[in-house]
Amino acid sequence: MINCIFCKIINGELPAAFVYKDSEMVAFADINPKAPVHILVVPVIHFESLRDVDSRHEKILGKMMVKVKEIAEKQGISDGGYKIIINNGKGVGQLVFHLHVHILGGWKKSPGWQV
């Protein structure tokens, strides 16, 4: 997608603080964090939201969920708990129309943040 900010990050056209990257997905810190730890997990293949998935996407969606768990562990937020959020559409706050999973946590480390 030409104007997709996440596609530009994936293609190296824009910088990001990557915590994971392979040929199928990337994960990087959100530039406008809503929690002490706020990571985005993004598939390399472009589709807007869960409304666009079908059986062809089962493997990547499953891999993303496994990677969410691993990233939470590596970020040190697994034991304290974390949220995962997938916004599907403008009406619920989706701002970038490339499917992505938000990992939010770390409140125990920074008690001033609101859950």
Q: Is residue 32 part of a domain?
A: yes
Domain with 47 in it: 5-105
What is the count of structural domains for the chain? Answer: 1
| Average confidence (pLDDT) over 7-32 | 97
Write the pLDDT tens digit of every residue in 44-57: 999 999 999 999 99
Q: What is the pLDDT of residue 2?
A: 74
Q: What is the pLDDT of residue 99?
A: 98
82, 37 in Cβ contact below 8 A? yes
Q: Is residue 114 part of a domain?
A: no
Tell whether the model's pLDDT for residue 111 goes beyond 70.
no
Mean pLDDT of the chain: 94
Confidence of residue 31 (pLDDT cuts 50, 70, 90): very high
* Structure tokens that stand for 39 in this block: 């990571």
Out of 38, 98, 100, 102, the active site residue is 100
Phi then psi for residue 92, to 5 deg, are -115, 15
Write the pLDDT tens digit of every residue in 55-101: 999 999 999 999 999 999 999 999 999 999 999 999 999 999 999 99
What separation, in Å, do the N-terminal and C-terminal C-alpha atoms of the chain show? 33
Q: Is residue 45 part of a domain?
A: yes
Q: Is residue 113 part of a domain?
A: no
Helix (H) or strand (E) holding 43: strand 37-43
Q: Is residue 115 part of a domain?
A: no
**Rounded Cα–Cα distance for residues 49 and 113 (Å):** 28
Catalytic site includes residue 100:
yes
Closest CA to 26 of 12, 13, 43, 11: 43
Tell whether the model's pLDDT for residue 115 goes beyond 60.
no
String of DSSP letters for 51-112: GG--GGGHHHHHHHHHHHHHHHHHTT-TTT-EEEE---SGGGT--SSS--EEEEE-TTT-TT
Q: Specify the CATH number for the domain of residue 37.
A: 3.30.428.10
